[in-house]
Chains A and B, each alone.
Chain A
């Protein structure tokens, strides 16, 4: 596919979404939705107002900590369970059922354990991102071709050298997929954490707009968050595709 065709696809997508928005607005009215133009102007106001950035920074810091914990913890557990067949067989089903539970209901427990404030947000974000990273890492190591492992054995590579020169490069593309999904899930968790018990951050701004029934503010914040999450996701996806091609 040429770059031009891809650009056209994006233009079509943006146009279609814009059209859907306008039609939905015409149908639902200003009580339920804000019009695209005014929403974009409010987004621009946010981006230039000095009150906005401390909130964005608060979310950013919590998100960065949560990401670090989720990614490093998930990778460590994933490698530990993925390298050993029995450990993987025992651990993987437990992890995947933990992954499937509605984590939002655990939020009160997180609050009771960590109290109000940044640590609860970080913990909740990390809780969301940890499981997909671990599960994808296990899957990636499990799917490593046996030929590669046999080759490493024939070459008499030490375990650490095997991990570094054979397992890691073979598993890396799928691990990157896990990191991308973990990244997104962590962002989701951090924002949900801010929705409930927080006094700053983008989630807090959103819940305040919700309580005051300011449709324009809700829409502008939603658009901003969607745009950020989608852009980050597309960038990570591009990295991932490059690795899969190699």
Chain B
């Protein structure tokens, strides 16, 4: 494991050093990309001096939190209903399997007409992105609950509420966690993409503005921030998910 980590570190570090060298040597010109070290310095500068930075970050994070809450809670509830009605599940199956193959972004203009430019459109776009992953994960999670646990619940004469809380929910938790991770990742994409396409505030909006103004310093600073955020969130949720899977499916 340590060897794997060392290789990963070397690989990522090597890529960054290579990029830095190429930029410094002028093989990649400054109008295309600034050296990674300057991106970090620019990020520190943007954080410290730009008055819009923290309001825009909190705007994006607020929308993100709302979109994630909507997609996770909504996806879980819809998943329960879909699982309970086999007919509904069969009818909706084509939607679930092709949902992520259609470009959902094209709905954004319609959402803007509907909700206006502002948080509501962004939140709904983010939630639309995440919700189907959560629905599918919920249905899978209930499918995978071992039958024997339900028998144990019956033998122990647990009521329906306690069966759900003590037996079903823990047993379903690994796949629910997978759904949560995907829903978060998709909501991040939806919200930031929505801001990037059309918005008045938010970090995605700032990236688009910086690009239009040829302000590479600010643009790359914000890109580094967004990428680091997305990768960190994914890594944390991914390790939680793996821990749950290991606990339940020890071979």
Contact = CB atoms under 8 A, between A and B. Distances in A.
B12 interface: yes
Given A90-B8, A112-B31, 15 more contacts: A32-B110, A100-B231, A101-B230, A105-B196, A105-B207, A105-B222, A105-B223, A108-B207, A108-B211, A111-B211, A184-B100, A188-B105, A210-B109, A225-B102, A226-B102
Nearest to B233: A100
A221 B8 CA distance: 44
A200 interface: no
Interface residues of A, number: 58
Interface string B170-211: 000000000000000100110011001100000010011001
Contact of B101 (A16, A86, A105, A232): A232
Contact of B226 (A33, A105, A229): A105
Contact of B33 (A86, A112, A180, A219): A112
Nearest to B234: A100
A104 B185 CA distance: 13
Interface in A147-206: 180-181, 183-185, 187-188, 191-192, 195, 206
B49 interface: no
B235 interface: yes
Contacts of A113: 32-33
A161 to B, nearest CB: 29
- Residue of B90, B103, B196, B227 contacting most chain A CB atoms (<10 Å): B103
Interface string A95-110: 0110011111111110
Contacts of A32: 110, 113-114
B101 A90 contact: no
Contacts of B107: 222
B91 A16 contact: yes
Contact of A94 (B8, B101, B197): B8
B105 A97 contact: no
Contacts of A188: 101-103, 105
Interface in B23-39: 31-33
B101 A230 contact: yes
A222 B101 contact: no
B56 to A, nearest CB: 14
A101 B231 contact: yes
Contacts of A108: 207-208, 211, 219, 223
A4 to B, nearest CB: 13
Interface of A: 1, 9-10, 12-13, 16, 28, 31-33, 86, 89-91, 93-94, 96-97, 100-109, 111-113, 180-181, 183-185, 187-188, 191-192, 195, 206, 209-210, 213, 215, 218-219, 221-222, 225-226, 229-230, 232-234, 237
A26 B88 CA distance: 25
A15 B234 CA distance: 38
B105 to A, nearest CB: 6
Given A102-B226, A106-B223, A195-B197, A229 B103 contact: yes
B98 interface: yes
A33 B91 contact: no
A12 B223 CA distance: 45
Given A100-B185, A102-B189, A237-B97, A90 B11 contact: yes
Contacts of A104: 189, 192-193, 196
A213 B67 CA distance: 26
B85 interface: no
Nearest to B101: A184
Interface string B114-125: 100000000000
A42 B114 CA distance: 21
A218 B4 contact: no
Contacts of B93: 9
A206 B196 contact: no
Give 8 closest A-B pairs by Cβ, nearest first: A184-B101, A108-B211, A233-B98, A100-B234, A233-B101, A104-B193, A229-B102, A90-B7
